[in-house]
C-alpha cells in the first residue's frame, strides 16, 4: 500500500503530454496559456494623460506664469496635437496623448477657466505630473505573460491589448466519468428504499468544469462483462477516464478485474489514507490515464481534489500553483496509521493565516457534511495527535 506522497509522485509521472490548440480569445477564459505573450509595442505606446485638465510647458510655470490661453482640446483617441506657443496651453482629456511641446498636466480641480484662459490656482506643481510616460510599464519586445498560466480577466485584457484575436492554449483531455452500481438511479428518478441517486458524477464534473473540461458521464451496473466491454469502448475515445465505485474488495467490486481484462496497467491499488484507501490508478499504454475512486462520496471528492486536479494541472502545463496551508483551531486525535484528510470550515485569521476548524462527520458516506466544509487538511500519518495552531496543507473546494 502506497503512501500519499508515493501515490502523488506516481500519478504526476504519468501526466499527459502537452498538446496545444488555438482558440478565439473570447473562449480562452479559464484555459492554460500555451504561448509566451510579448509586447507588440511600448506600454503605454505614448505619453498618456492621466487627468482631465490642461497641458503646459513647465518652464513657463517655473518662470512665474499662471495664466495660459487655451489653444485647442486634445481628446482621447485623436491624433497628437502640438502646442503652438509655449505661453499657451491645451485642454487635455484622460487617456489622450500628451501634446507635443507640453510636459506637465494640471487637473481641472486646480484651475479657473474664464474667457478661454486657464488660471492655475496652486503652487505645488511638479514637471511631468499626471503623465503616464511612454514605455514606463514595458518596452516593445518585453515578455508580458509567460506560458503556463491560467487565463483570467487580467490575462484576457492583456491579450486583447496585444491584438491576440486567437491564442494558444493547452488542449483539454477528452474525459469520461464512469459510475457503477446497481444501487444507483438517475437524478430525475425516485429511488426505492434500497437505492440512492448517483451524485459522484456531478461532483467530479463540476470540479473539472472549473478547468473548462466537459466530461461525458456513463453508468454501468454491477456486471463484470458489461463493465469490461464498456471500458474497452471508452478507452478508444477518451484520454482521461475517472471511475467511481466497485474498486474495493466486495463481491461485486468488478472494476479492477475489468480494467485488467481491458488491457489497463495497474500502477497501484490502495493508498494509506482516510478516506479513500481503495483508490486505484493505472494507464492504458500512452493513450489514456485512469483514476478509479471509491464510491463513497467523500472519498470520491477527496480523490478528485487531492490527486486528479494536481495531475490535470501538470498535464496542462500550469507552471505555478501555490500550496495553501491553514492552522487548526483545536487539537485533534487520529490514531490509525493513515494520512487523514479532515474536512474543515475556514476562517481568515490574523496575519494572513487561514484558520481551519475540523468538522464532525459520519465517515466517507457523509455527503451532507461536504456542504458545511470549505476543504480539507492533510494530516500526516506518522502522528496521532495534532495541536491547535499547527499548520498543515489545505485543499479547498470553495
- The model's pLDDT over 42-71, given as tens digits with 9 standing for 90+, comes to 999 999 999 999 999 999 999 999 999 999
Q: What is the pLDDT of residues 286-341, one digit of tens each?
A: 999 999 998 888 899 999 999 999 999 999 999 888 889 999 999 999 999 999 99
DSSP string, 127-187: TTTTEE-TTSSB-TT-EEE-SS-B--HHHHHHHHHTT-SEEEEEPPPPEEEEEE-TTEE-T
Which distant-in-sequence residues (6+ apart) come within 8 Å of 270 by Cβ? Answer: 1, 2, 277, 278, 279, 280
Q: What is the mean pLDDT of the chain?
A: 92
- 8 Å CB contact between 135 and 42: yes
Evaluate whether 310 touches 274 at the Cβ level (below 8 Å).
no
b/e map of 170-185 (b: 16 or more CB within 10 Å)? Answer: bbbbbbbbbbbbebbb
Grid look-up 478565439 returns 24
Distance CA 143, CA 138 (A): 8
Q: How far apart (Å, rounded) are the C-alpha atoms in residues 98 and 75?
A: 10
Closest residue by Cα to residue 224 from 180, 288, 286: 180
Q: Work out the average pLDDT over 241-268.
A: 80
The pLDDT value recorded for residue 27 is 97
**pLDDT reading at 95 higher than 70:** yes
Cell numbers that stand for 60 in this block: 513657463
- Return the bridge partners of 355, or none: 327, 347
Q: What percent of the chain lies above the pLDDT cut of 90? A: 77
| Contact residues for 313 (Cβ-Cβ < 8 A; gap 6+) | 321
Three-state secondary-structure class, residue 43: strand
Query: What average pLDDT score do residues 92-113 get?
Result: 98
Kindly tell me if the per-residue pLDDT of 236 is higher than 70.
yes
Tell whether the model's pLDDT for residue 30 goes beyond 90: yes
Please report which confidence band the pLDDT of residue 241 belongs to, taking 50, 70 and 90 as the band edges.
Answer: very high
DSSP line for 84-113: S-TT-EEEE-TTPBPPBT--EEEEGGGEEE
Residue 122 has pLDDT above 70, yes or no: yes
Higher pLDDT, 221 or 216: 216
Which has the closest alpha carbon to 138: 40, 36, 43, 37?
43
- The pLDDT, as a whole number, for residue 138 is 96
In degrees, rounded to 5, the angle at the alpha carbon of residue 168 between the alpha carbons of residues 162 and 172 is: 145
- Rounded Cα distance between 60 and 62, Å, is 5
Query: How wide is the angle at C-alpha 200 spanned by C-alphas 363 and 380, nearest 5°?
Result: 45
Question: For 17-21, 128-132, 185-189, which range has the lowest pLDDT when averaged over its residues?
Answer: 185-189
Q: What is the pTM of this model?
A: 0.87
- Tell whether the model's pLDDT for residue 187 goes beyond 80: no
Q: Which of 150, 149, 95, 105 is nearest to 126 (CA)?
A: 105
Reported confidence tier of residue 185, pLDDT bands at 50, 70, 90: low
Q: pLDDT-based confidence at 72, cuts 50/70/90?
A: very high
Which one-letter DSSP state was computed for residue 26? Answer: G
Give the pLDDT mean for 176-184.
79
Q: What is the pLDDT of residues 353-394, one digit of tens each?
A: 899 999 987 565 566 677 789 999 999 999 999 999 999 999
Model pLDDT, residue 369: 74
Q: Is the pLDDT of residue 182 over 70?
A: no
- The whole-number average pLDDT for the span 116-123 is 97
Q: How many residues does the chain have?
A: 398
Looking at residue 248, its pLDDT comes to 63
Amino acid at each position: 500500500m502506497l503512501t500519499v506522497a508515493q501515490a502523488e509522485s506516481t500519478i504526476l509521472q504519468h501526466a499527459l503530454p502537452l498538446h496545444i490548440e488555438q482558440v478565439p480569445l473570447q473562449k480562452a477564459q479559464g484555459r492554460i496559456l500555451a504561448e509566451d505573450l510579448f509586447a507588440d509595442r511600448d506600454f503605454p505606446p505614448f505619453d498618456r494623460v492621466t487627468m482631465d485638465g490642461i497641458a503646459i510647458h513647465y518652464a513657463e510655470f517655473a518662470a512665474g506664469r499662471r495664466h495660459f490661453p487655451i489653444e485647442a482640446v486634445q481628446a482621447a483617441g485623436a491624433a497628437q496635437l502640438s502646442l503652438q506657443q509655449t505661453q499657451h496651453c491645451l485642454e487635455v482629456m484622460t487617456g489622450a496623448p500628451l501634446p507635443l511641446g507640453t510636459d506637465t498636466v494640471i487637473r481641472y480641480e486646480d484651475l479657473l477657466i474664464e474667457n478661454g484662459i486657464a488660471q492655475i490656482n496652486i503652487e505645488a506643481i511638479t514637471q511631468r505630473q499626471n503623465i503616464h510616460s511612454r514605455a514606463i510599464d514595458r518596452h516593445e519586445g518585453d515578455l508580458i505573460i509567460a506560458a503556463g498560466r491560467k487565463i483570467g480577466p487580467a490575462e484576457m485584457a492583456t491579450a486583447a491589448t496585444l491584438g491576440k484575436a486567437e491564442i494558444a492554449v493547452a488542449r483539454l483531455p477528452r474525459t469520461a466519468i464512469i459510475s457503477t452500481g446497481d444501487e444507483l438511479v438517475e437524478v430525475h428518478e425516485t429511488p426505492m428504499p434500497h437505492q440512492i441517486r448517483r451524485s459522484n458524477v456531478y461532483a467530479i464534473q463540476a470540479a473539472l468544469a472549473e478547468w473548462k473540461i466537459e466530461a461525458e458521464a456513463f453508468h454501468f451496473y454491477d456486471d463484470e462483462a458489461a463493465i469490461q466491454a464498456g471500458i474497452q469502448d471508452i478507452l478508444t475515445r477518451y484520454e482521461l477516464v475517472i471511475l467511481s465505485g466497485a474498486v474495493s474488495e466486495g463481491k461485486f467490486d468488478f472494476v479492477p478485474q475489468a480494467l485488467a481484462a481491458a488491457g489497463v496497467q495497474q500502477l497501484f491499488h490502495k493508498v494509506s489514507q482516510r478516506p479513500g484507501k481503495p483508490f486505484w490508478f493505472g494507464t492504458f499504454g500512452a493513450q489514456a490515464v485512469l483514476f478509479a475512486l471509491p464510491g463513497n462520496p467523500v472519498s470520491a471528492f477527496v480523490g478528485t481534489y487531492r490527486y486528479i486536479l494536481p495531475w490535470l494541472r501538470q498535464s496542462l502545463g500550469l507552471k505555478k500553483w501555490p500550496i495553501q496551508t491553514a492552522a487548526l483551531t483545536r487539537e485533534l486525535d487520529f490514531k490509525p496509521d493513515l494520512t487523514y484528510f479532515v474536512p474543515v470550515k475556514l476562517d481568515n485569521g490574523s496575519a494572513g493565516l487561514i484558520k481551519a476548524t475540523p468538522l464532525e462527520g459520519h465517515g466517507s458516506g457523509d455527503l451532507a457534511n461536504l456542504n458545511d466544509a470549505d476543504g480539507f487538511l492533510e494530516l500526516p500519518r506518522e502522528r496521532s495527535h495534532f495541536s491547535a495552531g499547527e499548520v498543515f496543507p489545505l485543499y479547498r473546494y470553495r
